[in-house]
Amino acid sequence: MSLWKQKRIMSKAVGLAALALSAAVGTSASAEEAKTQYFPLATFRVGAYASSGIPVWAGEIDYFRYINEVEGGINGIKLVWDECETNWEVEKGVECYERVKAGKNGSPVPIFLPHGDPISKALTEKSVADKIPLVTIAYGRTEAIDGRVFPYSFPVVFSFWSEASSAVNFIAEKVGGKDKLKGLKIATVYHDSPYGKETQVPLAHLAKTYGFEDIQIPVPHPGNEQSAQWAKIRQLKPDWVFLRGWGVMTPVAIKTAAKVGFPVDHIIGGIWSGSEEDVRPAGAVGKGYLAVTPFPAGANFEIHQKLKKYILDKGLSDLKDPKSFGSVYYNSGVDEAIVAVEAIRTAQAHFGVRPINGEEAQWGLEHLDLSEKRLAEIGATGLQQPLKLSAKDHEGGGAGKVLQWDGEKWNVVSNGWVKSDRDLLLPLIYERAAAYAREKGITPRDATN
Amino acid sequence: MSFFIETLVGGLLAGVMYSLVAIGFVLVFKASGVFNFAQGSMVLCAALTFVSLRDKGIDFWLAALITLAVMVLIAIAVERVVLRPLVNRPQITLFMATLGVSFVIEGLAQIVMGASVHELDLGIVDTPIEIGGVQVSQFDLVAAGTAGILVVALSIFFNKTRVGIALRAIADDPQAALSIGIRLQTLWQIVWGVAGFVSLVAGLLWGARQGVQFALTLVVLKALPVLIIGGFTSITGAIVGGLIVGAGDSLAEIYLGSLLGGSVSTWFSYVLAVASSWSGRPVCSAKRRSKGFDACRRSAQKPSKGSTRRTRPRRACATGCAQARLWCCSPHSRAFRL
């Protein structure tokens, strides 16, 4: 190699090193200077599930605006967000995650909300590598409750297993106690997908424990024709039906149930079969339909009064249809935003008041304590259940309220929050998490720190 | 036994609903040989327009009329903007164009009318009635009746009107049809308009069943096996295919579902479709019609006694058998001068 060539290579190497150094210094400086907390939102405002998504972002964005406008940010750190359209499709969801994970203008991503069960499952391992926590309220992999194996997955508040158990416990409440469950037939009509199948194991376990008959009836996607499934229901004559639908499957199920003469007040919808968007299209036959949810509907919670006064009445709301204010999906967005904001606040208390990165937010989530007192301060008493997370428990709550549709709106008909049998189910969940760890060669974390 | 009959009847009636969507595909395919990928979007667009008008307090029939007008406008726009520039291009080009049309319709419908889910009440009672110990849905019976009326109306349209006969001629040989003065553009507008009308009927019935929402576009998933079984060019075939798919899916779900792990109806109709394709032709294929054309061609070549019209080859028909086919299958030669 000639001397001239060697010099040229050396000068290139020095140039690249200088560039890398300046980039690193620049990034660090901009992160230091960043006074805002970036919060990317993976949304689906178009496509088959847009009607479900639009009120969710409205609730979430309205709460973020409230934090910025009224409270001046989280301890002075204002939230900034942008949206990435996923169409509720896995590939687009993953693409969105990849696009935003590096943060924006020096502000890191503290938490990523995948907004889609399949997307959250596709991101499980990536999130660990990138150290960005996935918060999946009322969806996602149930065994991720075990944070020793899933350090960056947070199926906070209400997992699918808790949903199934709460529904069974509500039936027990209606029939006069858990001992009366013996001999009952409970049919689960489920969306035939990994999400739909998620409750098969806990229901089999609960059936064995309490002595009821567990019937499983799948409905193929999208569920716009269910004559055969409900003919089977008519043949098997279950006492209760637990409906775990998504999208169009729910109104079709309610209508087809009416068609075969099954009483709608003996159908309990799951979390994603329990919104206004699910039951309104069913029309008059939906009156009396029940649903278990961690997002009770209603606009009379204290936080709603604040949102109305400071955001909606000032024309700052993201809500296009005012009828959706206080709907199940709107409230789910508010709940999600509360959890995110409180996790960042917890992390700030430990790491300092500044934009929080994913690793710090993970610590914040694992030390999140949404007590009755804190919920009252926020104005979310009754809207959000008390939560206390830890490395060993990424769910924290595990209770739902049962709502009944009166033809116009949802009313709470359960005796407050219906708790799930977490003590009964947690050992099974830990077993599954351990099996996952063995399969993937993961050494579970020590949960004592 | 009564449960089997109930499942069978329920499946047959469900199949009629699929047929309603399949008929829309058949109409466009018959006239242009194009598989109209936008059919599901047209169903959504029609239902969404109708329900949005109803939400504004517009009377049922007026809303239906306005929706029909919107669908006709879409038909004209599709012909002018998309199909006309693509005349004589390969079929795959036209197919891809309809794919684009579907995205445009879906996007525009959501921009203009929003993404909310709407309830659609047609005033049809949906409580079950018992006929001979078998429970039958009243709504499904009304849907079946509507499909029956639609089939009769379309049969009359295709067989007894000049426009219908010209459409058949175009389906058979567009070049020959053009050569004798049939205005392809006008007929495409008409056929897309009629497909829009069928979309309106399908959209109303499906919308009443599941609510008017984006998922209406997904009903086409089941129309595909219906078309494979019934044939892409036969309206009767669409009905027969729908009945086979509906009954097959229901019976398979009940009697094979538990053995095969459930959700059999996701794929069973496609198994039926593949099985039907092994037979070499769809249930209601164009085979019989082709025989008719051949007979016509023969009769055109060998004039019968006393018939002057049939024996005199028309100017445009003189150059080949395709033209002869068009000519002889027309009850009146004037039918082509549109």
Give the mean pLDDT of A340-365: 97
Same-domain status, A231 and A107: no
Q: A250 — contact with chain B (CB < 8 Å)?
A: no
B109 has a pLDDT exceeding 90: no
Sign of the Cα torsion A63, A69, A72, A77 reads positive
In whole angstroms, give the CA distance from residue A23 to residue A29: 10
With beta carbons less than 8 A apart as the criterion, state whether B55 and B121 touch: no
With beta carbons less than 8 A apart as the criterion, state whether A357 and A344 touch: no
In whole angstroms, give the CA distance from residue A132 to residue A127: 5
Question: Chain B: residue nearest A225 by CA?
Answer: B14
Residue A149: give its domain's CATH number. 3.40.50.2300
Q: Is residue A165 part of a domain?
A: yes
What does the pLDDT read at residue B280? Answer: 64
In whole angstroms, give the CA distance from residue B293 to residue B172: 10
The residue type at A61 = I
Q: Is residue A388 part of a domain?
A: yes
- Identify which of A220, A232, A258 has the shortest CB distance to residue B263: A220
Most confident of A8-12, B135-139, B314-318: B135-139
What does the pLDDT read at residue B338? Answer: 30
Same-domain status, A41 and A97: yes
Suggest the residue from A259, A277, A321, A405 to mutate for an interface test with chain B (most B CBs closer than 10 A). Answer: A259
Report the DSSP beta bridge partners of residue B136: B129
**What does pLDDT average to over chain B?**
80
Q: Pick from B27, B73, B49: which is nearest to B216 by CA?
A: B49
Minimum mean pLDDT among A67-71, A133-137, B8-12, B217-221: which range? B217-221
Q: Which tops the pLDDT comparison, B171 or A32? A: B171
**A375 token code pair:** 């919920």
What does the pLDDT read at residue B155? Answer: 86
Sign of the Cα torsion A312, A316, A322, A325 reads negative
pLDDT band at A206 (very low <50, low <70, confident <90, very high): very high
What does the pLDDT read at residue B284? Answer: 58
What does the pLDDT read at residue A12? Answer: 52
Kindly state the helix (H) or strand (E) to which residue A432 belongs, with its residue range: helix A422-440
Give the mean pLDDT of B280-302: 48
The size of chain A, in residues, is 449
Domain borders along chain B are 2-117+140-285, 289-336
Q: Which tops the pLDDT comparison, B136 or A153? A: A153
Cis peptide before A222 (omega within 30 of 0): yes
Give the mean pLDDT of A62-90: 96
Same-domain status, A392 and A338: yes
Task: Single out the residue in A276, A293, A310 at which a domain terminates.
Answer: A293
B136 has a pLDDT exceeding 90: no
Q: Is residue A83 part of a domain?
A: yes
Summarize pLDDT for B180-235 with one digit per residue, the tens. 888 878 888 898 899 999 999 999 999 998 889 888 888 888 888 999 999 988 88
Distance (Å) from the C-alpha of residue B106 to the closest C-alpha of chain A?
9
Burial class (CB in 10 A: 0-12, 13-18, 19+), A209: middle
Same-domain status, A61 and A125: yes
- Identify which of A224, A231, A284 has the shortest CB distance to residue B7: A231
Report the DSSP beta bridge partners of residue A77: A74
**B218 token code pair:** 């997904």
Q: Which tops the pLDDT comparison, B75 or A240? A: A240
Give the mean pLDDT of A289-296: 97
Q: B253 — contact with chain A (CB < 8 Å)?
A: yes
What does the pLDDT read at residue A162? Answer: 97
Q: B331 — contact with chain A (CB < 8 Å)?
A: no
Give the mean pLDDT of A281-286: 92
A302 has a pLDDT exceeding 60: yes
Q: Do B211 and A280 touch (CB under 8 A)?
A: yes
A335 has a pLDDT exceeding 60: yes
**A198 token code pair:** 């998620």
Q: Do B265 and A228 touch (CB under 8 A)?
A: yes
**What does pLDDT average to over chain A?**
91
Summarize pLDDT for B298-313 with one digit per residue, the tens. 444 444 444 444 433 3
Look-up of token digits 């709106």: A409
Same-domain status, A72 and A132: yes
| 3-state DSSP of chain B | CHHHHHHHHHHHHHHHHHHHHHHHHHHHHHHHCCCCCCHHHHHHHHHHHHHHHHHCCCCHHHHHHHHHHHHHHHHHHHHHHHHHHHCCCCHHHHHHHHHHHHHHHHHHHHHHHCCCCECCCCCCCCCEEEECCEEEEHHHHHHHHHHHHHHHHHHHHHHHCHHHHHHHHHHHCHHHHHHCCCCHHHHHHHHHHHHHHHHHHHHHHHHHHHCECHHHHHHHHHHHHHHHHHCCCCHHHHHHHHHHHHHHHHHHHHHCHHHHCCCHHHCHHHHHHHHHHHCCCCCCCCHHHHHHHHHHHHHHHCCCCCCHHHHCCCCCCCCCHHHHHHHHCCCCHHHHCC
In whole angstroms, give the CA distance from residue A338 to residue A395: 15
Q: Do A221 and B266 touch (CB under 8 A)?
A: yes
What does pTM read for this prediction? 0.83
Sign of the Cα torsion B310, B312, B313, B314 reads negative
Question: Chain A: residue nearest B118 by CA?
Answer: A281
- Identify which of A46, A222, A283 has the shortest CB distance to residue B119: A283
A4 has a pLDDT exceeding 60: no
Task: Single out the residue in A293, A316, A349 at which a domain terminates.
Answer: A293
pLDDT band at A34 (very low <50, low <70, confident <90, very high): low
Q: Pick from A305, A272, A315: which is nearest to A291 by CA?
A: A272
Interface of B with A in 7-26 (CB under 8 A): 7, 10-11, 13-14, 17
Same-domain status, A333 and A306: yes
Share of chain B above pLDDT 90, in %: 31
Q: What is the DSSP letter of A180?
A: G
Q: Is residue A187 part of a domain?
A: yes
Give the mean pLDDT of B133-157: 88
Q: Pick from B279, B273, B323, B263: which is nearest to A216 by CA?
A: B263
Neighbours of A416 (CB within 10 A): 11
What does the pLDDT read at residue B107? Answer: 86
Q: Is residue A407 part of a domain?
A: no
Contacts of B115 in chain A (CB under 8 A): 45-46, 50-51, 54
A11 has a pLDDT exceeding 70: no
Summarize pLDDT for A363-404 with one digit per residue, the tens. 999 999 999 999 999 999 999 999 999 999 999 999 999 999
Q: Is residue A26 part of a domain?
A: no
What does the pLDDT read at residue B282? Answer: 63
What does the pLDDT read at residue A181? Answer: 97
Same-domain status, A425 and A325: yes
Q: Which tops the pLDDT comparison, B70 or B31? A: B70
Same-domain status, A286 and A303: no
Full DSSP string of A270-306 = -GGG-SHHHHGGGGGGGTT-EEEESS---S-SHHHHH
What does the pLDDT read at residue B317? Answer: 37
Same-domain status, A188 and A230: yes
In whole angstroms, give the CA distance from residue A26 to residue B287: 74
B176 has a pLDDT exceeding 90: no
Same-domain status, A153 and A276: no
In sequence order, the 6+-apart residues with CB closer than 8 A to the CB of A347 are A110, A356, A360, A361, A363, A364
A337 has a pLDDT exceeding 50: yes
Report the DSSP beta bridge partners of residue A185: A213
A196 has a pLDDT exceeding 70: yes
Same-domain status, A231 and A115: no
Number of independent structural domains in chain A: 2
In whole angstroms, give the CA distance from residue B227 to residue B107: 26
Full DSSP string of A91-135 = HHHHHHHHHHTT-BTTBPP--BB--SHHHHHHHHHHHHHHT-PEE
Which residue range forms the structural domain that includes residue A342?
Answer: 36-158+297-398+421-440
Task: Single out the residue in A293, A327, A360 at which a domain terminates.
Answer: A293
- Identify which of A220, A232, A248 has the shortest CB distance to residue B215: A248
What does the pLDDT read at residue A8? Answer: 52
Kindly state the helix (H) or strand (E) to which residue A409 belongs, with its residue range: none
The residue type at A13 = A
Q: Pick from A338, A339, A299: which is nearest to A319 by CA?
A: A299
Share of chain A above pLDDT 70, in %: 92
**Distances in whole angstroms, Cα of residue B26 to Cα of each of A132, A369, B230, B241:** 51, 61, 10, 12
Minimum mean pLDDT among A83-92, B146-155, B188-197, B320-329: which range? B320-329
Q: Which tops the pLDDT comparison, A421 or B305? A: A421
The residue type at A189 = V
Measure the N-to-C terminal CA separation of chain A; round to a whole number of Å: 56
Same-domain status, A133 and A86: yes
What does the pLDDT read at residue A259? Answer: 86
CATH of B2-117+140-285, one of 2.30.30, 1.10.110, 1.10.3470, 3.90.25: 1.10.3470
Give the mean pLDDT of B253-282: 81
Give the mean pLDDT of A181-185: 97
**A43 token code pair:** 């949304």
What does the pLDDT read at residue A96? Answer: 97
What does the pLDDT read at residue A20? Answer: 47
Give the mean pLDDT of A304-328: 95
Give the mean pLDDT of B137-144: 89
Cα angle, residue A165 at apex, residues B263 and A298 outer, rounded to 5°: 95
Give the mean pLDDT of B249-254: 89
Minimum mean pLDDT among A38-42, A200-204, A328-332, B132-136: which range? B132-136
Q: B250 — contact with chain A (CB < 8 Å)?
A: yes
Q: Do A261 and B128 touch (CB under 8 A)?
A: yes
Question: Chain A: residue nearest B221 by CA?
Answer: A222
With beta carbons less than 8 A apart as the criterion, state whether A185 and A238 touch: yes
Summarize pLDDT for A139-168 with one digit per residue, the tens. 999 999 999 999 999 999 999 999 999 999
